[in-house]
Structures are given as structure tokens and as C-alpha cells.
């Protein structure tokens, strides 16, 4: 890549990109980035510069080698909190998603053991129990939107994981408020980063909604502090409170931010991933039959491959956002300090150069050997990989294990559903409409 000669020496070129006004780029990126990103790559290559609110200077990455190098870089070279700040008014400025440096290390140290592989296995029975109850409520012959049902289920699951209980008037009210929060329009969510907007229209209502949720959460925290069985409880809230007795303990504000982050990120993303999986299974009888067989035979590997393939074809989060803390040279380009770097996961995971026949739903590709670094990253990577990734994979796998052993998944709509931007996630535009008639035979354990 050529360099620009000036009287002060040789300068690296900045990455190419569109010349549209920043406001136009922001609008297009917000609602149609899954389409726009592909056209940008075709026109400008694997490193593209755009201007997007609220990050301003954004560098889009499409090459798996660049993405793998980014994830492997020392944490000091990047900050993720700045890139995630669009969610800060809701998740909180002390969320593990928002903080960096030593503060992030401290939170990861406290949170990671709660979601290690051994820890998440302790939640399997609970996930199966709640899934059985959910599936028993499904209609027998009437089509329904699976995304709605998965949102209800995963909210119940995450409420149990986070608080240990999910029953009673207080938690019914919390579920109602969280449902309204998750239905918030993306423009409203982004506007919460503008203090002046808090006094008007939908932004004022959104601020009030967050305040109502906070009131409930702080009441639960206060009550749990006085629970005589606190030390024996295994839910996230209780374990964070117990950890609060040590030198790395958390304040009520920090605990609140982690709980809300888990409820939002752990609930909506898994629900959407499951809805996409059911959408694909309903449209492919052969894969659905293999998955149903795996459910009855307890073939965890195949069921997990179904989840991973769904996340490959339909990544719930289309991109990762990290901000550079120093200038970086990449492929002859200068990426300046303060730029937000976005690996375009949704494009990379559907690139035929990375995954042959990318538009074919084929779980077997995740059973045929390791996936190269940078090719599959629905949970991000490196020091900022999602702390709940192990739990999310276990949860989705167990949900499929139960429901596919009890119900067939079919649809009369053969065309794939489009992806629609919901908050920062991409969900099935029509809710992943399916029918789920009971199977003639169910596994011996009644699942």
C-alpha cells in the first residue's frame, strides 16, 4: 500500500470509505448495516472507514486474520467500554461491558468463576425444568412466533440464574418492566446518551423505566444482604454479595450494573439465537430429524453444533466494538488512536472463503475440526470475550434437547426470514414463525 509523501515525512494512508454525510451513514448503519457492510467491503476492501454516531470514526474489519490479531492483542491496546457506551445508560457505567483496565480485570476475576464450564453444569436441571414447563404451554396446531416464546423462557432462566428466584409480585413486575425495556426503539436507546433528551418524549419515559427497574433491583439486593442462608445460595446476586466481603468486593451500584447486564445480554441474545435455530430447523427436515434424534439420544455435541451453526449464519450481534488506545498500522493504513474498530462478524461468518456453502444450515461443519481463529466469533474474543459464553451455549443446547424430544418443529413458510435490527441485536423480522406438533414418541425420561 502506497504512502503519502509530505514535507514532514511519510504518512500512512487512512482507510477508504464512503463520502456520505455522517448523519446519513449513522442512519444506514443503525438499521441496515447487515446489508450496507457487504457493499462497503465489495467497494473498498477489507479495511473500511466510516463515520457513525456515537463513535464518530469507525474502522470496519472483514479479514479473519485482522480480527484474530485484534483479539490476541494486549488489552492495553484497546478499550471496549467506549465502544459499548451506547448501552451504558441502561446497563450502567460500572457494567463489565463498559469498564476497562484494572477495573475490568477486577470484575472479570469476580464474574468468570460464576460462568465457568463446571459452574454452568449446575444450572442444567433448572434449564430443563423451565423448558419443559414452557413447551407444555405451546399450542399443538396453531403457528406461533418462536422468538416471543424463547424471550419468555430465557427471561425466566436468567431471572433464576441472576436472582435465584423468579416468582412473586416483585419479579412479575420486573419481568414486565424488562420486557418494555427490551422493546425500546433503538433511536430511543441511542438518545439516552444525550442528557438533554432525558426531559422530552420517549426518552423521558425511558429514563423513568430504568429508574423503576433500578428501584426493584436495589430492593432485592437489600433484602438478600439480610438472608441468613446467603452463603449457601448459588445465584449470581448472592455470590457477588458474598464476594463483597473481600478486598475486591462490589458496591450496590456495581452489583446492580452486573445484574442488569446479565438480564439484558444473557436473555435477549440467547432467545434470538434459539429463535434463529428453530427457524432453520423448521425449514430443513433432514437437519431437524438429526437434531431430534440427537435430543433423544443425548447427543450433546450435535445439539451444540446446531446452536453454533445458527449463531454462524445469524449472529445476534453483527459486530464487536473496541476503541484504539494508540495508533495502529494495518495493511498500510493508519488507524488513529480513539478510532473504534469493528470486526464485521456477520459478514465474516457468511463469507464462502471462510465457510463453504455459507447459506446452507449444516451443523456438521462444527464437528469436522477446529474453526480457525477469527472465523467464528459470536461471543467476541480475547480479554473481552463474553463472560457468559459457556452458560449461553449450555442453555441453548439444553433448551433444544428438551423441546426437540417433545415437539416437531415445522413451518409452511419455506422462504427464509429477513434479519431485523432490534436494539443492537438482529432478530427474525417475523418472529421465526413455526408450528410444533407433539412427537408420537418421547424420550424415556419424559423430555
Segment 61-99, tens digit of pLDDT: 999 999 999 999 888 888 887 777 778 888 999 999 889
Residue among 343, 320, 339, 344 at smallest CA distance from 57: 339
In a domain, 83, yes or no: yes
The number of angstroms, rounded, from the C-alpha of 254 to the middle of its chain's C-alpha atoms is 21
In degrees and rounded to multiples of 5, residue 174 shows phi and psi of: -65, -40
Is residue 373 scored above 50 in pLDDT? yes
Is residue 441 scored above 60 in pLDDT? no
In a domain, 444, yes or no: no
Of the two residues 199 and 240, the one the predictor is more confident about is 240
In a domain, 24, yes or no: yes
In a domain, 441, yes or no: no
In degrees and rounded to multiples of 5, residue 227 shows phi and psi of: -70, 120
In eight-state DSSP terms, residue 378 is T
Is residue 223 scored above 50 in pLDDT? yes
Distance CA 175, CA 152 (A): 9
The radius of gyration of the chain from alpha carbons, rounded to an integer in Å, stands at 22
Model confidence pLDDT, tens digit, residues 280-306: 999 999 999 999 999 999 999 999 999
What pTM, to 2 d.p., does this model score? 0.90
Model confidence pLDDT, tens digit, residues 114-158: 898 888 999 999 999 999 999 999 999 899 999 999 999 999 999
Say which CATH number the domain at 110 has: 1.10.630.10
Would you put residue 164 in left (φ > 0), alpha (ψ -120 to 50) or beta?
A: left
In a domain, 70, yes or no: yes
Is residue 438 scored above 90 in pLDDT? yes
Model confidence pLDDT, tens digit, residues 247-278: 557 889 999 999 999 988 888 899 999 999 99
Distance CA 183, CA 422 (A): 8
In a domain, 82, yes or no: yes
Model confidence pLDDT, tens digit, residues 295-341: 999 999 999 999 999 999 999 989 988 999 888 888 888 888 888 99
In a domain, 443, yes or no: no
Q: How confident is the model at residue 444 (pLDDT cuts 50, 70, 90)?
A: very low
Pairing verdict, β 78-79 and 56-61: unpaired
In a domain, 90, yes or no: yes
Please give the pLDDT value at position 166: 65
Model confidence pLDDT, tens digit, residues 32-48: 888 999 999 999 999 99
What is 120-146 written as a DSSP string?
HHTTHHHHHHHHHHHHHTS-SSS-EEH
Number of compact structural domains in the chain:
1
Distance CA 47, CA 437 (A): 48
Partnered with residue 79 across adjacent β-strands are: 323
Of the two residues 445 and 81, the one the predictor is more confident about is 81
Q: Which residue is listed with cell 446492580?
A: 256
Domain range for residue 396?
4-434
Please give the pLDDT value at position 4: 36
Please give the pLDDT value at position 413: 82
Please give the pLDDT value at position 194: 80
Spell out the SS3 assignment of 395-441.
Answer: HHHHHHHHHHHHECCECCCCCCCCEEEECCEEEECCCCEEECCECCC
Is residue 53 scored above 90 in pLDDT? no
Q: How confident is the model at residue 18 (pLDDT cuts 50, 70, 90)?
A: very high
**Residues 196, 200, 201, 205, CA torsion sign:** positive
Amino acid at each position: 500500500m502506497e504512502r503519502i509523501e509530505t514535507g514532514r515525512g511519510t504518512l500512512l494512508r487512512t482507510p477508504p470509505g464512503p463520502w456520505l454525510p455522517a448523519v446519513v451513514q449513522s442512519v444506514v448503519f443503525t438499521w441496515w448495516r447487515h446489508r450496507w457492510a457487504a457493499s462497503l467491503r465489495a467497494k473498498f476492501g477489507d479495511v473500511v472507514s466510516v463515520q457513525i454516531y456515537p463513535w464518530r470514526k469507525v474502522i470496519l474489519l472483514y479479514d479473519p486474520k485482522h480480527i484474530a490479531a485484534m483479539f490476541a492483542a494486549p488489552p492495553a491496546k484497546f478499550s471496549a467500554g467506549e465502544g459499548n457506551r451506547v448501552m451504558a445508560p441502561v446497563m450502567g457505567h460500572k457494567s463489565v461491558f463498559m469498564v476497562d483496565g484494572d477495573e475490568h480485570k477486577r470484575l472479570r476475576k469476580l464474574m468468570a468463576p460464576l460462568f465457568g464450564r463446571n459452574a454452568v453444569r449446575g444450572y442444567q436441571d433448572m434449564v430443563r425444568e423451565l423448558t419443559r414447563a414452557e413447551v407444555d404451554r405451546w399450542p399443538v396446531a396453531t403457528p406461533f412466533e418462536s422468538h416471543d416464546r424463547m424471550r419468555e423462557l430465557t427471561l425466566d432462566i436468567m431471572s433464576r440464574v441472576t436472582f435465584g428466584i423468579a416468582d412473586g409480585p416483585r419479579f412479575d413486575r420486573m419481568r414486565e418492566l424488562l420486557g418494555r425495556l427490551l422493546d425500546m426503539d433503538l433511536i430511543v436507546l441511542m438518545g439516552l446518551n444525550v442528557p438533554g433528551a432525558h426531559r422530552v418524549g420517549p426518552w423521558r419515559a425511558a429514563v423513568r423505566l430504568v429508574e423503576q427497574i433500578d428501584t426493584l433491583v436495589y430492593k432485592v439486593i437489600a433484602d438478600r444482604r439480610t438472608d441468613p442462608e446467603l452463603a449457601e445460595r448459588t445465584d449470581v446476586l448472592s455470590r457477588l454479595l458474598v464476594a463483597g466481603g473481600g478486598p475486591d468486593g462490589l458496591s450496590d451500584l456495581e452489583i446492580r450494573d452486573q445484574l442488569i447486564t446479565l438480564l439484558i445480554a444473557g436473555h435477549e441474545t440467547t432467545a434470538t439465537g434459539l429463535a434463529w435455530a428453530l427457524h432453520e430447523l423448521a425449514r430443513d427436515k433432514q437437519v431437524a430429524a438429526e437434531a431430534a434424534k440427537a435430543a433423544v439420544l443425548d447427543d450433546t455435541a450435535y445439539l451444540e453444533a446446531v446452536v453454533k451453526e445458527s449463531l454462524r449464519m445469524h449472529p445476534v450481534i453483527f459486530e464487536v466494538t473496541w476503541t484504539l488506545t494508540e495508533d495502529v498500522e494495518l495493511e498500510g493504513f493508519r488507524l488513529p488512536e480513539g478510532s473504534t474498530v469493528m470486526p464485521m462478524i456477520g459478514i465474516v461468518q457468511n463469507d464462502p472463503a471462510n465457510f463453504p456453502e455459507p447459506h446452507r444450515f449444516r451443523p456438521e461443519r462444527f464437528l469436522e475440526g477446529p474453526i480457525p481463529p477469527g472465523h467464528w466469533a459470536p461471543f467476541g474474543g480475547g480479554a473481552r470475550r463474553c463472560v457468559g459464553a459457556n452458560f449461553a451455549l449450555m442453555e441453548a443446547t439444553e433448551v433444544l434437547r428438551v423441546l426437540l424430544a417433545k415437539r416437531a418443529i415445522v413451518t409452511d413458510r419455506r422462504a427464509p426470514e429477513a434479519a431485523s435490527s432490534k436494539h443492537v441485536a438482529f432478530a427474525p423480522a417475523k418472529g421465526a414463525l413455526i408450528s410444533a406438533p407433539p412427537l408420537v414418541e418421547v424420550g424415556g425420561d419424559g423430555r
